[in-house]
Amino acid sequence: MQKQSTQKSLISNKLIAYVVACGFFTTSLLLGISIGTVSVPIFDIIKLILSAVFPIDTSSIEGMYENIVLNIRLPRVLLAGLVGASLAMAGAAFQGLLRNPLADPYTLGVSSGASVGAVLTLFFQISLPVMGLYTLPIFSIAFSFVTVFVVLLFARTIERSMRVETIILTGIIFSSFLGALISLMIALTGDELRQIIGWLLGSVSMRGWAYIEIIIPFFIIGTLILLFNTNELNAMSFGEERAQHLGVNVQRRKMVILIAGSILTGAAVAVSGTIGFVGLVIPHFVRLLWGPDHRHLLVLSAIIGAGFLILTDLISRTIISPTELPIGVITAIIGAPVFAMILIRRKRTERSG
């Protein structure tokens, strides 16, 4: 009887978690579309969005609102949401895999590798035949893959068992090295300097539906791979030896999860530039509130991460309007103190416990 009561309580808590997360995301979405130089009534936004799917009469809505919502703000807000969800999920996966709350797409050098690929594309004005707009994400994801494989190869050379600590330290080394390469390219660049600097600071400004089409396939692939490996992530979060005893092929699953995280990070970096702290703070925050089970942690992190980046983008374009701040600056300003408070609270809890 007590067991059934406990199970019902857990289901109820998870249901509340999803309701709160979805409510936060929906509110962020509507606010992101509504607020701007021209304010659009929320009821009109809902009507316009539904009219794209259902035969709803929108003749009573001003034509200007339709253009603002469907062609300018909606694609921007959705792109911010997809980037936030991608980074948050990748961060949650890396934290579970490495059993380290400080892990995120930057820890393994994944984000730095993706940035090098993107900056090289911008620097040399590379455009692959047939690929067109997909050139940037392809190079970005390819370089993130290469970075992961080189990091793992280097870690395996140092220590055959590839302990988590070794992988993290190797990732930090490569991240610093790749950051130096980016700085070198910036120092050598000429007319492309403003474009590269603006891209590195992170932004979803002036990006239409084409950029959503770019990130969507990679987002779906990366998400599905991670969701199919939630049980393995749960096992590995208790340690690699424990996971092996539970029948998990640790080396193979580790590689699959790293590849999925690289896909999500590379695609996000390709369309928005470098945006920090989302993959670090959001999964940690969700884990503190609703527990470490990756079957729910990944999905909740994606929803909260999407809503968070939408609100951050809203702040970046309205706080000193009409000037727009890079979204990466806002996430760092918000994320750094929040994460510091989380760490302080965690240390106090450990001491009192």
Report all structural domains of the chain as residue ranges with CATH numbers, in order of start: 2-352 (1.10.3470.10)
Q: What is the pLDDT of residues 184-240, one digit of tens each?
A: 888 877 666 667 777 777 888 878 888 898 899 999 999 999 999 999 999 988 877
Question: Percent of the chain at pLDDT above 70?
Answer: 93
Q: Of 241, 116, 99, whose CA–CA distance to 176 is shortest?
A: 116
Cα separation, 259 vs 246, in Å, equals: 23
The pLDDT value recorded for residue 295 is 92
Spatial contact of 100 and 172, defined as CB atoms under 8 Å apart? no
Q: Are the C-beta atoms of residues 92 and 283 closer than 8 Å to each other?
A: yes
Q: Which residue type is seen at 233?
A: L
Average pLDDT, the chain: 85
Q: What does the pLDDT read at residue 6?
A: 64
pLDDT reported for residue 26: 96
CA angle, residues 346, 96, 142, in degrees to nearest 5 = 130
Smallest CA-to-CA distance from 133 within 82, 234, 209 is with 209
**Which positions of the chain have pLDDT values less than 50?**
none
